[in-house]
Structure 1
């Protein structure tokens, strides 16, 4: 209990800092630029305050946010607490751990690398989606034109074609389908926000196509944070107490609380893995290996790098799957449109004989 209190008092903020209404949160590319620039300045010998002052003087785009960080630092807040409202929660947790244990520069480099690769993958997806989405737009316009102009002309030439058939029926089915999608999406959102962080991850890793990607990301995220804690010399028990003191809505807090409860009740780490379903067995093997903490930290660092590479490979596979899937959907839609157009003509011609 004393260890838990001492650990909390040393480095965890008492509350979230309030963000100024005039200062916007960084986008992912701005966040990556800030992390990379700050890491470079720290590497060449700048102190943290000197590096931030240098950014204020030389980077107009970041000046409002960095001025806010400097103001919070002067008020006695730590760096991670000062930057918390400007970055995503995952990056904040990694900065919080690294700031406490003296690896801020290394973690900043890792975060910048991760964000830049994420931006690169997003741009690649967007570039691959432009052509298929343009075709979809043309196809949608074509279907509307057929509905508004072609079918009325066909009905004038062939009065025995019933308007309620074919395209009208299909448009009605499309309308019901879209209503169903909207209702299902609403129910899914309500269900999602009532689940715990651990349950959310359990659901995400079961999704087709992106489930494997998210599982790799969780493995990378956990391994990199544990590596930082192990390099500082913390034992497994101390790590569980540390993790259990994070923001209550975060995954890392939920895992820390579960790990702390398991160790308190005499359960093994394997039991925690079985309950969560997404913590990799390799992480537990490293923690249960009995090796010196330094060797465990090195193994965890190597494993986090491996999971990062796996995450990039999985992302590339998903990107390669997107465009062919879009073309298949477009092809099916084109064939369906032709059937909608030709079926009533065929029925009308057949009715003449």
Structure 2
């Protein structure tokens, strides 16, 4: 769509053209077209069909005349995201299939093999095994209950706290933090390039949904500035705000120059994000095979240990 807008198509014309090219999306596109005909903004027309972070990026770009450029950037990001998702699914298909068959094998062992062991006068060992299995199920059930409790508690936390926790998670935390840096720096760049100052940006962000990250940032920053504090302490307080902003903001550049610098900075963060996701995807398959190996070891132990104890009892 960005390419169509850049060559002179209007929003309505671009959507009609896409409707012809993508017949499977006709219903969604028709709803957008009708919304535009009723005088709604493009961001409002797509709000129900995109994630919140993407919606606000489109909203900011639309308000300040950078819609085509923003859609181009978003399109590139979403294409790369889709490619990563497809690659991850391909890498995990084989390990997931192995885990499925191992699960069937474990069910078969429990149904056919362990009853045979019990017929070899292994009542004591089988009883111990059943006790161990019951204990294992209890442990797993407790873990699931604890995880469910923490998930519900986490979902009730303010968005600042949720994002901060996600940024501090092992393995995926750094990836999510880089995404936040990219997202915030790109949005700030668009606002600065449109000529807005910090106070005007805070006022604009406060017009967004109170549950959004951008609203919370604008509200918290405005309160801090009204108390006479500098933006530096605000930036240093949260891991999801890039620390490089301190250097860029203190350079004394004009608003337009600062906006251009932030555009370049967001591109660097985007490249870093892509590299981190590639490494994470490469890490997932070996992890899955490690889990499969542990399952196989457990299966052998659960089968051989009762037999070993039985043989020891016979020789005694």
Q: TM-score, normalised by structure 2?
A: 0.95
Rate the CA distance shift 1:160–1:194 in 2: closer, same or farther, 3 A. closer
The aligned counterpart of 1:18 is none
Alpha-carbon displacement from aligned partner over 1:272-317 (angstroms, at most 9, x marks no partner):
1233232111123222321111221111011101111111111111
Rate the CA distance shift 1:282–1:159 in 2: closer, same or farther, 3 A. closer
Rate the CA distance shift 1:57–1:346 in 2: closer, same or farther, 3 A. closer
The aligned counterpart of 2:41 is 78
Q: Hey, what's the Cα distance between the residues in 1 that align with 2:79 and 2:63?
A: 25
Report the CA distance between 1:159 and its aligned residue.
4.1
Instruction: Output aligned runs, 1:307-322, within 5 Å.
Output: 307-322=269-284
Q: Hey, what's the Cα distance between the residues in 1 that align with 2:204 and 2:57?
A: 13
Rate the CA distance shift 1:344–1:56 in 2: closer, same or farther, 3 A. closer
The root-mean-square deviation of aligned C-alpha atoms, in Å, is 1.6
Does the CA contact (< 8 Å) of 2:221 and 2:231 recur in 1? Answer: yes
Correspondence for 2:18 among 34, 37, 55 = 55
Rate the CA distance shift 1:238–1:96 in 2: closer, same or farther, 3 A. same
The answer to which of 67-76 and 301-310 deviates more is 67-76
Aligned: 1:139 with 2:125: no
Q: Hey, what's the Cα distance between the residues in 2 that align with 1:247 and 1:210?
A: 27
Report the CA distance between 1:109 and its aligned residue.
0.8
Report the CA distance between 1:44 and its aligned residue.
1.8
Rate the CA distance shift 1:266–1:111 in 2: closer, same or farther, 3 A. same
What SS is found at the alignment partner of 1:164?
A: helix
Q: Hey, what's the Cα distance between the residues in 1 that align with 2:246 and 2:206?
A: 18
Q: Hey, what's the Cα distance between the residues in 1 that align with 2:13 and 2:103?
A: 56
Q: Hey, what's the Cα distance between the residues in 2 that align with 1:153 and 1:183?
A: 34
Alpha-carbon displacement from aligned partner over 1:13-38 (angstroms, at most 9, x marks no partner):
xxxxxxxxxxxxxxxxxxxxxxxxx2
Correspondence for 2:230 among 258, 268, 278 = 268
Q: Hey, what's the Cα distance between the residues in 2 that align with 1:84 and 1:160?
A: 64
Paired residues in the alignment total 315
Q: Hey, what's the Cα distance between the residues in 2 that align with 1:274 and 1:230?
A: 21
The aligned counterpart of 2:3 is 40
Aligned: 1:286 with 2:251: no
Aligned: 1:174 with 2:136: yes
Instruction: Output aligned runs, 1:6-45, within 5 Å.
Output: 38-45=1-8
Report the CA distance between 1:258 and its aligned residue.
0.8
User: Per residue, is there more helix in 1 or in 2?
Assistant: 2
Gaps of at least 5 residues in structure 2 are none
Q: Hey, what's the Cα distance between the residues in 1 that align with 2:254 and 2:245?
A: 15
Q: Hey, what's the Cα distance between the residues in 1 that align with 2:15 and 2:125?
A: 73
Report the CA distance between 1:324 and its aligned residue.
0.9
Instruction: Output aligned runs, 1:130-279, within 5 Å.
Output: 130-159=93-122, 161-166=124-129, 168-279=130-241
The aligned counterpart of 1:69 is 32
Gaps of at least 5 residues in structure 1 are 1-37
The aligned counterpart of 1:337 is 299
The answer to which of 194-203 and 65-74 deviates more is 65-74
